[in-house]
Amino acid sequence: MIEAITQFFKQYPLLWTFVKAVVLASFTLVIPLAVIYVERKIAGFIQSRLGPLHVGPQGAFQTAADALKLLLKEDIVPEGADKRFFYLAPYIAFISTVLCFMVLPFAPGWVALEMNVAVLFIIGVSLFNVVSILMAGWSSNNKYSLLGGLRAVAQLLSYEIPMVLSVLAVVFYTGSLSLTGIIEYQVKHGWNIWHPPIMIAALIYFICALAEINRTPFDLPEAESELVSGFNTEYSGMRFAFFFASEFANNFFITAFAAALFFGGWDGPVLPPIVWTFLKVFVMIFVFMWVRWTPPRLRIDQILRFAWQLLVPISLANLLFAIALGVR
Amino acid sequence: MRDTEYNPLVYFIDGLVTLFNGMVVTWRNLWRPKVTVRYPYQRRPVPPRYRGLFYLKWNEEKQRLNCVGCTLCAQACPTDVISMVKLGKGTHAGVSEFTMDLGRCMFCNLCVEACPFDAIYMGPNYELASERRDASLFRIADLAQGGEEAVRKNIETIERLLAEEEKAKPAHAVHAAGGESE
């Protein structure tokens, strides 16, 4: 059935591209609903609450209702805001996330764009997120937003380096920049995570991923208790929804990326590949949320010091280790 | 930690250990029974001395409300919530109307403490919110135990007793009373 449909669309390349784009964009809009629901449930359970319960079975449609509410709300632009940037910022954040999903293989052949430098591409486009956050913070004409934006840039750029270095360790180890290539290597040779240099790389990646998606203990860009809500303070309605969606879609993406790099992507027994991908992703998302609701927030100087004094040297040494072991 | 003794690796390992400890705590909490009471569907049991909506005690034996209309509760009330219309006098006194404006009430219990006849009490009903503005006004039928029916019987009983008393009195006494008022 699916084969027949894809076969039909492949006769018209432009249409096929359009279909893929629509599917990916809607996936990026829909997956945050699931992730936010899971997040709220886990947050509730950890705090001895029940979480959302009333809309739909066990409250499953609560986030959909919230999203609908956000879409219907008034779109407020603060006086003195730089309107062009203010309008543009949420969409840039969202587009960077959609672009990341574009090269992500969900199962064998289930990839919108087979790219042989997918890893490089992902690292490149995910940095657009930083641009959008700075744009939002700067254009809001609000000191809290600006502080949040500045913190975000400092933090995301600092953590991008150890993250890229740890991803690079995987690239050297598997000898491929293509995500499909990396996963296929793991299908043949076993998951990357079982090799010592990649284990360290995975730990560093995990820490950096927490920082990259602005989650506690690294949620300084939107530290509620210090900065109202950081870079998105002035955003409301649909624009806020886009920021929120892109944040949680990023959360999904960064774990899917980790699954592809370290945990063999779709590789797994019995169950179909797509199920394995989602299983790994949601287990990791659970761990992310578990961490989120455990430690308190760090200070900005602690966070930056941690990145530059510890993570960067360790990931550099680990990269050399991986190269020494991996290059054949 | 001061900068002079800052060792990033020690700091990191220390942080990891404490993070792990914290995560054990949150993991345990994840499976603990939840404390949420889903209010409209579930309710907490109300303690017996809860200060909820007032009620006027119905005396089954005497077939009347305990209230004699002495206004001690109204005098004790700091916010002037209570007003009443007295019915009868002497040994067979009661009330025909008893109104409480709970919009002003702070549920301080002073009226209950003031009552020497065990007539007014506070019950377990705490859901007094309403969309109507006059819903804070509680009349005797809303307050009396047994409602409308009890109020009717209360007035009946007291009027009957008053009438009996009137009959039992000698005729000249009635004349004298009438003469006095003239």
**Interchain contact A291–B (C-beta under 8 A):** yes
DSSP 8-state secondary structure symbol assigned to residue B144: B
DSSP 8-state secondary structure symbol assigned to residue A306: I
pLDDT given for residue B180 in this prediction: 45
Indicate yes or no: CB of B27 within 8 angstroms of CB of A295.
no
Number of domains chain B contains:
1
Nearest to B98 by CA among B128, B58, B71, B118: B71
- Using CA atoms, how far apart are residues A116 and A178, in angstroms rounded to an integer? 4
- Using CA atoms, how far apart are residues A168 and B20, in angstroms rounded to an integer? 28
- Using CA atoms, how far apart are residues A99 and A94, in angstroms rounded to an integer? 9
Asked, for residue B125, whether it belongs to a domain, the answer is: yes
What's the gap between Cα A19 and its chain centre? 23
Residue B55, H or E segment = strand B54-56
What average pLDDT is seen over chain B? 83
Asked, for residue A11, whether it belongs to a domain, the answer is: no
Shortest distance between the Cα of B8 and any Cα of chain A, in A, equals: 6
Position B78 confidence tier, pLDDT thresholds 50, 70, 90: very high
Residue A3 tokens, joined = 């084969």
Return residues 304-323 of A near B (CB < 8 Å).
305-306, 309-310
Residue A17 tokens, joined = 């591209």
Asked, for residue A22, whether it belongs to a domain, the answer is: no
Nearest to A306 by CA among B128, B26, B6, B86: B6
**Interchain contact B78–A (C-beta under 8 A):** no
CB atoms within 10 A of CB A316: 15
Return residues 44-103 of A near B (CB < 8 Å).
44-50, 53
pLDDT given for residue B6 in this prediction: 67
Buried-state track B56-67, b at ≥16 Cβ within 10 A, e below 16: bbbbeeeebbbb
The residue of B29, B30, B39 whose CB has the most chain A CBs within 10 angstroms, and thus the best one to mutate to test that interface, is B30
Asked, for residue B41, whether it belongs to a domain, the answer is: no
- Asked if the model's pLDDT at residue B179 lies above 50, the reply is no
Residue numbers of the domain that contains A120: 76-326
Here the CATH number for the domain that contains residue B149 is: 3.30.70.3270
- Using CA atoms, how far apart are residues B7 and A197, in angstroms rounded to an integer? 23
Q: Write out pLDDT tens, residues A135-144.
A: 888 888 888 8
Q: Cα–Cα distances in Å, from A208 out to A87, A281, A306, B77?
A: 29, 17, 11, 64
Nearest to A98 by CA among A74, A129, A77, A73: A129
Number of domains chain A contains:
1
Asked, for residue A61, whether it belongs to a domain, the answer is: no
Pick the residue from chain B with its C-alpha nearest to A304.
B8
DSSP 8-state secondary structure symbol assigned to residue B67: -
Mean pLDDT for B122-132 is: 87
Shortest distance between the Cα of A124 and any Cα of chain B, in A, equals: 29
Pairwise pLDDT comparison (A327 vs A107), residue with the higher score: A107
Half-sphere exposure of B8 (CA within 13 A, CB side): 14
Return residues 18-77 of B near A (CB < 8 Å).
18-19, 22-23, 25-27, 29-36, 38
DSSP 8-state secondary structure symbol assigned to residue B56: E
- Using CA atoms, how far apart are residues A296 and A299, in angstroms rounded to an integer? 10
Residue numbers of the domain that contains B67: 54-181
Asked, for residue A205, whether it belongs to a domain, the answer is: yes
Indicate yes or no: CB of A290 within 8 angstroms of CB of B32.
no
What average pLDDT is seen over chain A? 84
Residue A127 tokens, joined = 């940095």
Contact B69, B84 (CB under 8 A): yes
Pick the residue from chain A with its C-alpha nearest to B28.
A46
Q: Write out pLDDT tens, residues B25-52.
A: 888 888 888 888 888 888 888 898 888 8
Nearest to A289 by CA among A233, A209, A231: A209
**Quick check: helix, strand or coil at residue B84?**
strand
Asked, for residue A41, whether it belongs to a domain, the answer is: no
- Using CA atoms, how far apart are residues A55 and A267, in angstroms rounded to an integer? 35
Asked, for residue B114, whether it belongs to a domain, the answer is: yes
Mean pLDDT for B51-69 is: 87
Q: Write out pLDDT tens, residues A176-207.
A: 888 888 888 888 887 888 888 888 888 889 88
CB pairs under 8 A between A and B: 47
Asked, for residue B18, whether it belongs to a domain, the answer is: no
Asked, for residue B10, whether it belongs to a domain, the answer is: no
Shortest distance between the Cα of A174 and any Cα of chain B, in A, equals: 29
